[in-house]
Structure 1
Amino acid sequence: ILAGIFGEAMLTPYYLALISLAYQGPYLETLSLAASFVTITSLFILFADLIPKRLAMSAPEQVALRVVAPMQICITLFKPAVWFFNGVSDRAMSLLGLPGQRSDDITSEDIHAIVEAGTQAGVLHESEQQVIGNVFDLESRLVSSAMTTRESIVYLTLQDSEAELRRQLGQHSHSKFLVCDDVIDRMAGYVDAKDLLLRIINDEPLTLAGAPWIKPVLTIPDTLTLSELLAQFRDRREDFAIVLNEYALVVGVITLNDVMNTVMGDLVGGNQQQIVKRDDNSWLIDGFAPVEDVMHALDIAHFPDDENYETIAGFMMYMLRKMPKLTDAVSHAGYKFEVVDIDNHRIDQLLVTRVQ
């Protein structure tokens, strides 16, 4: 302000003399004053704003070391004035019923924005941005979005013969197997495949009835989030759990590896991809693909009432309000979701096309 007052007073006579050489009209003083104002403002922006910022950005450590002492002196000298004006402004804000202090809490949305800015600037790769986003999604994603569903569970029973156990071990390369008493909902525990393989190598009898190597299995409700599941895995020192619904029926199996695959996303490749991009405008999607994964793949902001379902098949059933049939379709967010394969009333595959 002082620079503007004194600068304009000093420069206006010179501009007055200069402009009077070409113009002698009634607006001579106004034009001289405007020219002085523009000159002072331009010099202030250049030397008090742009150049200091450029210097600080090009050599931040050196500039910081040089200005820290003067800044501390200024802070000490003007501390009473700052305290006084802060008190006055806080009092005025309270009288107006407005908050005097803003919240400095950092939210997940703030971090998402920072990560997105870093990706756009080239500091982060898109895959790294996806991993960071997936980590925050663990707080909202339920275990049902990452588990192996009931019909896909491979389990052993206490009644299985040695030949049946050998066949199951040969056909499925799982590290752990759920053990049940005749039916899947009567769980007896789980076994490590390596314990069974050691007995086979040592030519020992292979049976599960009364076997001491059957371990207690961790059971969790299907309302648990993936973040809460990780906490239980850590506390129990387990990496294998059975998911139960409110009727105590088994709805799925989930492992630590399933959670890690959810976090890593496309960086780790499973045996089967749930979302396959055919071209720029079409995708083949497994019916059990979690809605969150579909949102990431198709860049869809949200699905309607997504608290009522976890998978893209659930989305179709919710929107159609019936058991879907072949060629049934739903349009949402500029995409057409069409049922192309059904297996025993279960939506096995969807064809998703971008609506032009």
Structure 2
Amino acid sequence: MDDSRLAILIIAIVVLVACSAFFSGAETGLMSLNRYRLAHRARSGDRRAIRTLELLKRPDRLLGLILLGNNFVNNLGASLATVLAVELMGEAGVAVATAVITLVFLLFAEVTPKTLGALHPERIALPATLVLTPLLRLLYPLVWLINAMASVLLRPLGIRDTEVPAQALSSEELRSVVLESGKVIPRRHQRMLLSILELEEVTVEDIMVPRNEIVGIDLDDDWDTIVKQITHSQYTKLLVFRGDVDHVIGFLHLRKVLPFLQQPGGLNREGLEALVREAYFIPEGTPLNAQLLAFQSEQRRIGLVVDEYGDLLGLVTLEDILEEIVGEFTTDPTAGSRGMTPTADGGYLIDGVATVRKINRKLGWELPTDGPKTLNGLIMESLDSIPEPGTSVLIAGHPVEIVKVAGNRVKTARVGARLNS
């Protein structure tokens, strides 16, 4: 064999190995791309991202093109290597060529480019589309024929549509994405995003102020008591009722009342009632995400939770829902632990009306939230009776001692840290 023919064969084999490496790396890179990042780049006007998304819409055509090109260059390269080996070594060259070309293609045209494509998909895949897009147009009839035959084979498996469906993440998958965001999203922002995802799993009963804790104005009280209550109230809105909270009239915004109180004889019982806005009622079981939108559409910030019979269960505010996302709004340093007083033994004295969710959020505990909504309810369910002071019970690994009982409920309990099992 003359030197020029030998050089041509060697160069041709090297070129074919490079082509095979291109197809292998492009295949792995394109399949490893982050579709959401790619879509973001496409929306920003990145032409390479737009071109790549177009190719990925029909993976059958893309894979058909890549595999067609890859198999063609691999087979041609193997044939040329065999010719070269036979020319140099005779019949023994066939075995040698098979071993050598297998090793060369495996190392340089498969493992290395595919590893690069998996580690740096955008760096490999996006430039590759500059070649694959016109090549697909050129070889489209052949690619279409191959895909048509492949579709016939896929039909017995129930696969007829080869287009990639729109990708959507479930709540659990999105939660995993947020948790794995690492350095991209600060930890505090991660907690906020996770709280937003949990809104659909939490209902208004989980965060409401129970009816026995609602502070309001009883119009049957004497006028001096009502005025004193308005002037000393720590709330901006008060429930107004007559006799008891089952006879609700509405809500009173104190900002509208105070200017009248500063004027002598400027406000009386009838004038006060005229300033009351009709109450807004919320069905029990309403998820927080739905209620947040309802508050927005109704232009409300506070509502009363009622059961299926219309009986009042509690009160929920817009701030209560927002605090589920961002935490406490108040600047009072003691407000975050209100109703939860640390004890010397590492436990806490907790008010019985404290919600289980609030306890878990404040103290980092994992008390069960799929049953009673308050600590009092949790204790009552565990004991199946109204306990006496001094009674102890173990709830989710936490030792609980009843400190004070008022009427038919636990007023205060001492709850310890979870015991090691």
Q: Please report the TM-score for the alignment, with normalisation by the length of structure 2.
A: 0.65
| Larger Cα-atom Rg | 2
Contact 1:324 1:347 in 2 (8 A): no
Contact 1:146–1:254 under 8 Å retained in 2:
yes
Match for residue 108 of structure 1 among 158, 171, 183: 171
Residue in structure 2 matching 1:128, options 189, 197, 217: 189
Output the CA distance in 2 between the equivalents of 1:115 and 1:190.
Answer: 39
Return the alpha-carbon distance in structure 2 between the equivalents of residues 159 and 48 of structure 1.
83
Q: Which deviates further from its counterpart, 315-324 or 228-237?
A: 315-324
CA distance in 1, matches of 2:373, 2:313: 13
SS in 2 for 1:115: helix
Match of 1:203 among 245, 264, 281: 264
CA deviations 1:228-252 (Å, max 9, x no partner) are 2223222221111111223322221
State how far apart, in whole Å, the 1-side matches of 2:295 and 2:376 are.
29
Determine if contact 1:180/1:187 at 8 Å carries over to the other structure: yes
Contact 2:218 2:244 (8 Å CA) reproduced: yes
More deviation, 344-353/90-99: 90-99
More helix by share: 2
Other-structure match for 1:323 = 386
Specify whether residues 282 and 95 from structure 1 end up closer, same or farther in structure 2 by C-alpha distance, changes over 3 A only.
farther
Q: Which amino acid aligns with 1:198?
A: P
Q: Note the C-alpha offset of 1:273.
A: 2.8
In structure 2, the residue matched to 1:215 is 277
Q: Which residue of 1 aligns with 2:419?
A: 355
Cα deviation for residue 323 of structure 1 reads 3.3
- Checking the alignment, whether the CA contact within 8 Å between 2:78 and 2:98 is kept in structure 1 is no
Greater shift, 173-182 or 344-353, is seen at 344-353
Contact 1:155 1:177 in 2 (8 A): yes
Q: In 1, Cα distance between the equivalents of 2:130 and 2:220?
A: 81
| Match in the other structure for 2:223 | 162
Gaps of 5+ in 1: 18-28
Map of 2:114 onto structure 1: 49
Distance 1:45 1:155 in 2: 75
Residue 298 of structure 2 corresponds to: 236
Match of 1:71 among 132, 136, 142: 132
Q: In structure 1, how many angstroms separate the alpha carbons of the residues matched to 2:112 and 2:318?
A: 58
Give me the whole-angstrom Cα distance separating, in 2, the residues matched to 1:176 and 1:152: 15
Distance change >3 Å, CA 99–CA 113, structure 1 → 2: farther
How far does the alpha carbon of each residue in 1:144-164 deviate from its partner, in whole angstroms, 9 at most, with x for none? 112222122110022233321
Deviation string 1:48-83 (CA, Å, 9 cap, x unpaired) is 2344666665x69xx84x544323213323444554
Partner residue in 1 for 2:30: none
Render the CA deviation track for 1:114-149: whole Å, top value 9, x for unaligned.
10110xx22112221111111122212111112222
Report % sequence identity: 17
Question: In 1, distance between residues paired with 2:286 and 2:137?
Answer: 53
Separation in structure 2 between the aligned mates of residue 215 and residue 237 of structure 1, nearest angstrom: 12
Per the alignment, do residues 2 and 71 of structure 1 end up closer, same or farther by CA in structure 2, a change over 3 Å counting? closer
Q: Could you tell me whether the CA contact under 8 Å between 1:4 and 1:41 is conserved in 2?
A: no
Answer whether contact 1:108 1:136 (CA < 8 A) is retained: yes
Judging changes above 3 Å, is the alpha-carbon distance between structure 1 residues 33 and 74 closer, same or farther for their aligned structure 2 residues?
closer
Q: Cα–Cα, structure 1 residues 226 and 160, in superposed 2: closer, same or farther, change >3 Å?
A: same
Q: Deviations over 1:15-60 (max 9, x none)?
A: xx9xxxxxxxxxxx99996676444323235652344666665x69
Query: Equivalents in 2 of 1:3, 1:88: separation in Å?
Result: 22
User: Aligned ranges for residues 27-42 of structure 1 at < 5 Å?
Assistant: 37-42=102-107
1:215 CA drift (Å): 1.3
Match of 1:117 in 2: 180
User: Which SS does the other structure have where 1:202 is aligned?
Assistant: coil
Of stretches 105-114 and 77-86 in structure 1, the one that deviates more from structure 2 is 77-86
Q: How many residues align?
A: 331
The answer to whether the 8 A contact 1:274-1:289 is kept is no
Unpaired runs of at least 5, structure 2:
1-70, 89-93
Matched, 1:253 2:315: yes
